[in-house]
Chains A and B, each alone.
Chain A
Amino acid sequence: MNSNPCIRTQELAYHYDEEIPALNGISIEIPENAYLAIVGQNGSGKTTLVKHFNGLLKPTAGQVWVYGQDTRNVPVSQLAQSVGYVFQNPDHQIFCASTREEISFGPRNLGLDIEEVRSRTEEALTTFGLVQYADFPPAMLGFGLRRKVSVAAVYAMRSQVLILDEPTAGLDWRSTSELMALTDQLHRQGHTIILVSHDMRVVAEHALQTLVMHEGRVLRYGATREVFQEAEDLQRAQIAPPQITQLARRLSSYGLPQDLLTVSEFVAAYKSLREAHS
């Protein structure tokens, strides 16, 4: 990760109504090529925060810069070229008569020529395994497929920053793994990934950095492995680390490292501990 922030906020505050701020005093930097998870309770401000990154919301107070530009001075249509946003509910985003049309909508609106739109659309259909549904109305597909269509549609825009709001909610393990493998691949290709998620297993296995939101503020922001060690803060935000991290912590008095994040890390550490004992 280099130190150049692609997104920066300074004392960002946002109010939906006058009384309670949805965001309050958020000052963060998200470096280029980060793989960041934003976690926190429903209503803690996660979605409100990420909607500032593509200009869907403008700060009530404070500032947000995307690639150095103050979002108050840049139209959403322009921000959309660098920041893609996949909605939490695919149905808030799906509206075309066919999956192919749905996916080509974004690229067409970027003003690309017809050939480029077509090649991006076909590539996205293939990448997301949607070729067989290309001519179907996406609204008639099952939930998991609608979710894939919504991600593919944003993927086809080739935005440098991709925000995925609860991308794995309602997906089975295989669809989750496939979608996260694609996300990992986009990260390796240099994209900045911002993942809003309640699935701590997904966060632990994929995100390199984690930001914990609580009541409109940032409670923790750092390397995922370190953040999942902050038991008190997590509890305050009503987040539980993945089951495997909890197990490692409960067995730490026997010499197991506390900061394990995945099943394979756990099994490897447990085996070496067992073998050391024998």
Chain B
Amino acid sequence: MAAIGIEQLHFAYPPLLPGAEPSEILRGINLAVERGEFLSLMGPTGAGKTTLCLSMNGIVPQSTGGVIRGRVNVLGHDTRSTPVADLAAHVGIVYQDPESQLFCATLEDEVAFGPENLGLAPQEIAERVAWALDVVGMSGYRMRSSTQLSGGQKQRVAIAASLAMLPEVLILDEPTAGLDPVGQFEVFSVIERLCRERRMTIIMVSQDAERIAEFSDRAAILWQGVIAAHDTPVRVFEDIRLLRQAGLAAPQVSEVAQALNRSYGTAHHFVLLAEAERELQSELAGGRGAL
């Protein structure tokens, strides 16, 4: 069974202005994510990516209200009827702005907050905190305050706080926006490791085409209220027309592949820098005669 199964999900928030008609932001989402899969979710600003994420931990519709139809099933739980607090033990979520989620005096307290609220034994809490801070490479900072950290470090602490709950599914809503390139790489690497080593199921919202191509198993595009594409990164990034219509970027090397294919009728499919290097090198080397 898939870890996450979404069928014909429609959702509209309560209208902003009293008396207005609710307008549907999700208009028939179908999506299945296997256990241990790393899925990247792309979509234009305002497409409903955050809404879709929140439907997977029950906040939509349980806390937001609104009109919902269809089914969202996460690890066998119907997220419309399972209390958010119960889902939180299985589904972790990391928001775009780490500051909206960090509030304790020290990082240790921050990461311990979730497990403490699960009512775990102190020894178990201590072990989880140590482990989670270690996974994100922040062990040396446990007594620091989050106000003394850089953006990338804060985001890693927010991830650690989610990890300490040992979720089977981890949802990250654009966790790398605003991070420097090293911070972005750190976050993607940590997540990939959790996915590979612990078979954690990952849903990562991101606009970073190059890292999506490098790290994720599959990519999905949320556009106009539906999943407009859901495939391997290679296949998704080949459809430059859809990407452009939806207002999304492809890796720069994919754009090169497309441009060369158009001009020369070649069949380049590279989405990674190393692949592009290899294929173009052999084209240039072999080509001294063949071109």
Q: Which residues of A contact B (CB under 8 A)?
A: 40-43, 88-89, 91, 136-137, 140, 142-145, 166, 169-176, 198, 200-201, 238-240, 242-244, 246-247, 250-251, 254, 263, 266-267, 270-271, 273-274, 277-278
Given the interface pairs A42-B151, A247-B276, A250-B277, the reply to whether A169 lies near B45 with Cβ below 8 Å is no
Would you call the interface of chain B mostly helix, strand, loop, or mixed? helix
* 28 examples of A-B residue contacts, CB within 8 angstroms: A41-B182, A42-B151, A42-B179, A42-B183, A144-B46, A145-B45, A145-B46, A166-B178, A169-B177, A170-B178, A172-B43, A172-B45, A172-B247, A173-B247, A173-B249, A174-B44, A198-B179, A200-B181, A242-B252, A244-B253, A244-B256, A247-B273, A247-B277, A251-B281, A274-B284, A274-B287, A277-B284, A277-B287
Does B210 count as interface, using CB distance less than 8 angstroms?
yes
- By beta carbon, the residue of chain B nearest A267 is B259
Considering the chains assembled together, what is the distance between the CA atoms of A204 and B281 in angstroms? 24
- By beta carbon, the residue of chain B nearest A266 is B256
- Nearest-Cβ distance from residue B213 to partner chain A, whole angstroms: 10
Contacts of B180 in A (CB 8 A): 40-42, 198, 238-239
Contacts of B255 in A (CB 8 A): 263
Considering the chains assembled together, what is the distance between the CA atoms of A163 and B16 in angstroms? 32
Considering the chains assembled together, what is the distance between the CA atoms of A142 and B259 in angstroms? 34
Considering the chains assembled together, what is the distance between the CA atoms of A263 and B43 in angstroms? 22
Does B285 count as interface, using CB distance less than 8 angstroms?
yes
Find out whether the CB atom of B181 lies under 8 angstroms from the CB atom of A238. yes
Contacts of A176 in B (CB 8 A): 249
- Nearest-Cβ distance from residue B251 to partner chain A, whole angstroms: 6
Does B97 count as interface, using CB distance less than 8 angstroms?
yes
Nearest first, the 4 A-B pairs at minimum CB distance are A144-B45, A174-B247, A173-B249, A170-B177
Considering the chains assembled together, what is the distance between the CA atoms of A236 and B281 in angstroms? 28
> Which of B16, B207, B247 interacts with A170 by CB under 8 Å?
B207
The CB with the most chain A CB atoms within 10 A, among B45, B178, B283, B285, is that of B45
Does B162 count as interface, using CB distance less than 8 angstroms?
no
Contacts of A246 in B (CB 8 A): 273
Considering the chains assembled together, what is the distance between the CA atoms of A176 and B256 in angstroms? 20
CB contacts under 8 Å to A, within B242-291, are 243, 247-249, 251-253, 255-256, 259-260, 263-264, 273, 276-277, 280-281, 283-285, 287-288, 291
Taken residue by residue from 167 to 189, chain B's Cβ proximity to chain A (1 for < 8 Å, 0 otherwise) reads as 00000001001111111100000
Does B150 count as interface, using CB distance less than 8 angstroms?
yes
Given the interface pairs A170-B174, A170-B207, A174-B247, the reply to whether A243 lies near B252 with Cβ below 8 Å is yes
Taken residue by residue from 184 to 199, chain B's Cβ proximity to chain A (1 for < 8 Å, 0 otherwise) reads as 1000000000000000
> Which of A171, A175, A201 interacts with B252 by CB under 8 Å?
A201
The CB with the most chain B CB atoms within 10 A, among A91, A173, A263, is that of A173
Considering the chains assembled together, what is the distance between the CA atoms of A274 and B247 in angstroms? 31
> Which of A174, A239, A250 interacts with B181 by CB under 8 Å?
A239
> Which of B184, B249, B284 interacts with A251 by CB under 8 Å?
B284
> Which of A137, A170, A200, A270 interacts with B256 by CB under 8 Å?
A270
- Nearest-Cβ distance from residue B281 to partner chain A, whole angstroms: 7
Contacts of B273 in A (CB 8 A): 243, 246-247, 250
- Nearest-Cβ distance from residue A252 to partner chain B, whole angstroms: 11
Considering the chains assembled together, what is the distance between the CA atoms of A278 and B263 in angstroms? 15
- By beta carbon, the residue of chain A nearest B280 is A251
Given the interface pairs A175-B247, A267-B260, A270-B260, the reply to whether A142 lies near B45 with Cβ below 8 Å is yes
CB contacts under 8 Å to A, within B203-234, are 207, 210
- Nearest-Cβ distance from residue B37 to partner chain A, whole angstroms: 23
Given A172-B42, A247-B256: 7 more A-B contacts, CB < 8 Å: A140-B16, A172-B248, A198-B180, A247-B273, A263-B252, A274-B283, A278-B287
Contacts of A142 in B (CB 8 A): 45-46
CB contacts under 8 Å to A, within B2-50, are 16, 42-46
Considering the chains assembled together, what is the distance between the CA atoms of A76 and B255 in angstroms? 45
Considering the chains assembled together, what is the distance between the CA atoms of A273 and B263 in angstroms? 14
Contacts of A242 in B (CB 8 A): 252
Considering the chains assembled together, what is the distance between the CA atoms of A113 and B152 in angstroms? 44
Does B146 count as interface, using CB distance less than 8 angstroms?
no
- Nearest-Cβ distance from residue A255 to partner chain B, whole angstroms: 8
Does B96 count as interface, using CB distance less than 8 angstroms?
yes
Contacts of B248 in A (CB 8 A): 172-174
Contacts of B174 in A (CB 8 A): 170
Contacts of B285 in A (CB 8 A): 254
Contacts of A143 in B (CB 8 A): 45, 96
Considering the chains assembled together, what is the distance between the CA atoms of A41 and B183 in angstroms? 8
